Amino acid sequence: MDFVLVAKAVGALAAIGLIAAGMLSAASRRFTVDVDPRIESVLAALPGANCGACGNPSCFSAAEAMVADTLPVTACTAGGQSVADSVAEALGVEKCAVSSAVSMRHCGGGRAASRSFDYAGVMSCTAALRVAGGDLACPNGCLGFGDCARACPFNAISMDERGLPVIDLDACTGCEVCVSECPRGRLDLLRMGPAEGSVVVRCASHDRPKARKGYCSMCCISCKKCEKACPHDAIHVVDLLAVVDYDKCTGCGVCVDVCPQECIDLSGRTNIWGDPAFLDGRGPKVEGFMPRKADEAGSHD
Amino acid sequence: MMETLAHFALLLVGAALVNNILLTRFIGLCPFFGVSNAMETSWGMAGAVLFVMTLASTATWVFWNWLLVPLGVGEFLYIPAFILVIASLVQFVEMYLRKAAPSLYRSLGIFLPLITTNCAVLATATEAVKPGFFKMNLAYGFGFGEAVVYTVGVALGFGFALITFAALRERLEVAPVPDVMRGTPMAFITAGLLSLGYVGLSGLFGL
């Protein structure tokens, strides 16, 4: 045994260790960063999905902004009231009410809308739109490849048999990720609306009604029947398209009943042919409301 | 002067492409598959590796030449000694960045602990002090400048391979790949083909 060599080896390692330890302990004192302990507790209250709905890239930066008082405690759209309450509690400020919103699809086309060519490329709306403007003849309609469903951080969107995204109102947090992910989100295909039961116009096209009817059998035809029927003056045909004023809408469903195109629908309902079982329970209960095509259920496609 | 320049240039190209650490020597494959899902993270990783590798090799060169070689213990002590040096250095840098450059810390932050004692970093640090260490037949040590240039070359090669691979994987994500081959199996095949391409570079400039 070469004890000198062993001693040298131990000495060398000990020297390196001592130098490193000295350097690190000096650095930890010199470079301490004071982290506000409240950031941790606010972060624990946030959902942690990093959805970006509040305008911050991550829940951590949202927590920092909330502690710094540059972001309101109710800013977490994904968390809703319960998260806002626990954030307020963590920060020791007064609780306040959150207005909730959910994503709404403004298209009822799906397989009822005509296609201008057979698309066989990458199964994504963004990709399909790059090929000659997409296979869908309607310039505003849903392409149906489910970019929104894949993007949803809360798995609230699923694609149904009509090739349309269906939004689960209980799971939707209003984070708007789907709206920004949808290549036609800016064309109002997906738009935010109140979470409490209300109606949606399942059409986003501003084309002339005749042109619209040429490529989709489910479109709004600007007939103004809803406008005349609405007891609350909440729905108007603006720029050839029925638009709901959610400040006035009570979700009574008269327009749903009167629409000859079945273009107006209760939000969150998964089947336009109206199986009441599809009503999510949060939607309004409409007395005497029976969809006209109930007997045709299943015969579409 | 010209000769020195040419020597350094060859060293850089040799380290980056001909002896690419990922695709011809297969060192550091964990981050190669781990963070190559998205271009963004692979850019971050490439930057962090360039940063840490250069620092680590510089520090280990100093410890090797001024401490381990004079004591005659380098041949068997290099692994623990280098791990100790690299780990504490990365810790130190992390603390410093957190204080001095919080935005840089946030973009590199998650990668720094990941590559503290990454095999690629350790291998490069070892090779930078003793080129051909794994062949054990070269009685030639790099000077300080050579060590730094060699390390930068290796890190650039690492980044280049990682980013090209990430770009390929992003394309494969949307390509019509059969279901059984989706994801990792396809990544392995792609890595193999990419590696074939890099092996084809051996012999370039007689390196």
In a domain, B101, yes or no: yes
Q: C-alpha A138: how far from its chain's center? A: 23
Query: With an 8 Å Cβ cutoff, is B103 touching chain A?
Result: no
Q: A286: pLDDT confidence band, cut at 50, 70 and 90? A: very low
Distance CA A204, CA A242 (A): 9
Dihedral of CA atoms A260, A264, A268, A270 in degrees, nearest 10, equals: 30
Domain ranges of chain A: 38-91, 101-296
Domain count of chain B? 1
A8-23 residue pLDDT tens: 889 889 989 999 999 8
Residue of B84, B96, B171 to mutate, testing the A interface (most A Cβ within 10 Å of its Cβ):
B84
Residue B122 corresponds to which tokens in the numbers above? 């350790």
Give the rounded percent of residues in chain B with a pLDDT score beyond 90.
17
Read off the tokens for A242: 């029925």
The answer to whether the Cβ–Cβ distance between A13 and B100 falls below 8 Å is: no
As a whole number, the mean pLDDT across chain B is 84
Chain A residue with minimum CA distance to B102: A33
* % residues pLDDT > 90 (chain A): 2
Q: Is A22 on the interface with B (CB under 8 A)?
A: no
8 A C-beta contact, residue A130 and residue A147: no
The torsion defined by the Cα of A98, A103, A106 and A108, in degrees rounded to 10, comes to: -130
Instruction: Work out the minimum CA distance from B66 to partner chain A, whole angstroms.
Output: 11
More confident residue, B155 or B11: B155
Tens-place pLDDT, residues A193-215: 877 667 888 888 888 888 888 88
In this prediction, residue A45 carries a pLDDT of: 86
Query: pLDDT tens, B132-153?
Result: 655 444 556 788 888 899 999 9
Closest CA to A218 of A102, A97, A106: A106
Q: Please, which pLDDT band fits residue A161 given cuts at 50, 70 and 90?
A: confident
Q: What is the pLDDT of residue B153?
A: 93
Q: Report d(CA A160, CA A173) in Å as an integer.
A: 20
How is domain A101-296 classified at the architecture level of CATH?
2-Layer Sandwich (3.30)
CB A236 within 8 A of CB A201: no
Tell me the pLDDT tens digit for each residue of A39-70. 888 888 888 877 777 777 778 888 888 888 88
**Which pLDDT score, from 0 to 100, does residue B132 have?**
63
pLDDT at A272: 41
B167 pLDDT above the threshold of 90: yes
Question: Among partner residues B63, B95, B98, which is closest to A16 by beta-carbon distance?
Answer: B63
Question: Taking each helix axis from N to C terminus, what angle separates B144-174 and B184-199, rounded to the nearest 10 degrees?
Answer: 140
Q: Which of A5, A13, A28 is facing B95, going by the closest CB pair?
A: A28
pLDDT at A295 (0 to 100): 36
Q: For chain B, say whether A13 makes contact (Cβ under 8 Å).
A: yes
> Which residues lie below 8 Å from residue A43, measured CB to CB, with a gap of 6+?
A59, A60, A63
Alpha-carbon B65 to chain mean position: 21
The reported pLDDT for the residue numbered A21 is: 92
The percentage of residues in chain B with a pLDDT greater than 70, rounded to a whole number, is 91
Query: What's the rounded Cα separation, in Å, for the pair A38 and A90?
Result: 7
ipTM summary value: 0.72
Mean pLDDT, chain A, integer: 79
- Homologous superfamily assigned to A38-91: Electron transport complex subunit B, putative Fe-S cluster (1.10.15.40)
* Rounded Cα distance, B11 and B18, in Å: 10
DSSP string, chain A: --HHHHHHHHHHHHHHHHHHHHHHHHHHHHT-----HHHHHHHHHS------TTSSSSHHHHHHHHHTTSS-TT--TTTHHHHHHHHHHHHT--------EEEEE----GGGB-BSS---S-S-HHHHHHTTT-SBSSSSS---S-HHHHH-TT--EEE-TTS-EEE-TTT-----HHHHHSTTGGGTSEEEEESSS-EEE-----S-HHHHHHHBTTS-----HHHHH-TTS-EEEETTEEEE-TTT-----HHHHH-TTS-EEETT-S-TT--GGGS-SSSPPPTT---TTGGGTT---
pLDDT of B33 reads 86
CA distance A209 to A222: 7
Q: Measured between alpha carbons, how far is A201 from A219 in angstroms, rounded to an integer?
A: 9
Q: Which structural domain, as residue segments, surrounds residue B75?
A: 41-165
**Whether the predicted pLDDT of A294 surpasses 60:** no
Interface-testing mutation among A6, A16, A60, A145, with chain B (most B C-beta atoms within 10 A)? A16
Question: What confidence category does residue A279 fall into, taking pLDDT thresholds of 50, 70 and 90?
Answer: very low
Taking CA B171 as the corner, what is the angle to CA B104 and CA B118, rounded to the nearest 5 degrees?
Answer: 45
pLDDT at B79 over 60: yes
> What is the Cα–Cα distance from B144 to B65, expressed in whole angstroms?
10
Q: Which residues of B touch A8 (CB under 8 A)?
A: 71-73
The answer to whether A31 contacts B76, with C-beta atoms less than 8 Å apart, is: no
pLDDT at position B155? 94
A294 touches chain B (CB under 8 A): no
pLDDT, mean of residues A122-130: 87
Query: For position A297, what pLDDT does the model report?
Result: 39
Q: Is the pLDDT of residue A293 over 70?
A: no
Asked if A299 contacts A287 with a C-beta cutoff of 8 angstroms, the reply is: no
pLDDT category, B164, cuts 50, 70, 90? very high
Residue A223 identity: C
- Digit-coded pLDDT (tens) for B93-128: 888 888 877 777 776 666 777 777 788 888 888 888
Does B174 sit within 8 Å of A124, measured CB to CB? yes
- Is there a domain that residue B204 lies in? no
Q: What is the pLDDT of residue A193?
A: 80
DSSP letter for B25, please: S
Judged by CB atoms closer than 8 Å, whether chains meet at B77 and A23 is answered as: no
Position B109 scores a pLDDT of: 62
User: Do B85 and B56 meet the contact criterion of CB atoms below 8 Å apart?
Assistant: yes
> How does pLDDT run across A237-260, given as a tens digit for each residue?
988 888 888 888 887 888 888 888
Name the least confident of B49-53, B83-87, B162-166, B199-203.
B199-203
Cβ contact, residue pair B95, A24, below 8 Å = yes
Q: What is the pLDDT, as a whole number, of residue B108?
A: 67
pTM of the complete model: 0.56
**What percent of chain A shows pLDDT beyond 70?**
87
Q: Rounded mean pLDDT of A24-31? A: 87
The verdict on B76 touching A (C-beta cutoff 8 Å) is yes
What is the structure's pLDDT at A289?
A: 34
**What is the reported pLDDT for A262?**
81
A156 neighbors A172 (Cβ within 8 angstroms): yes
Instruction: Enumerate the residues of chain A whose CB falls inside 8 A of the CB of residue B175.
Output: 122
pLDDT of residue A249: 84
Say if strands A235-238 and A165-167 run parallel, antiparallel, or are unpaired. Answer: unpaired
